[in-house]
Amino acid sequence: MKDIFQLEYVLGKVSQNVLWNALSTSDGLACWFADKVEEKENIFTFHWGRSEQSAQMLLSKANSHVRYRWEDEEDNRCYFEMRISVSEISEDVTLTITDFSESSEDLKDLTDWWNIQIEQLQKALGM
């Protein structure tokens, strides 16, 4: 059984619309998440080099959150979600990632992977 975990990244003063596009569209995801992304009827196919993996978009609320589930995931309770929130005081945008890991070693690997991906996202956003 996999364990849920969350990672938070404070992105500062970034446009929610631009960030939303980067999280929820094939063109936006191709700028930071994978080498190439194709979308057909809410199925996103992510290409990394010669490998590929598909995920179904389960939930989507504009400028708020998007949830995907890998198509080869056996546990229907597992997904990955990217949620946007804005501080009322500082107006800083925070991106919260929710994902699932199988072990403490897997958690470390996934955390490292997400950290690299978010660095790529920040570069794509001009940060």
How do residues 35-48 score in pLDDT, each as one tens digit?
Answer: 999 999 999 999 99
Q: How far apart are CA 35 and CA 37, in angstroms?
A: 7
pLDDT in tens, 48-95: 999 999 999 999 999 999 999 999 988 888 999 999 999 999 999 999
Give this prediction's pTM.
Answer: 0.92
Domains present along the chain, CATH in parentheses: 3-124 (3.30.530.20)
Per DSSP bridges, beta strands 43-48 and 51-61 are: antiparallel
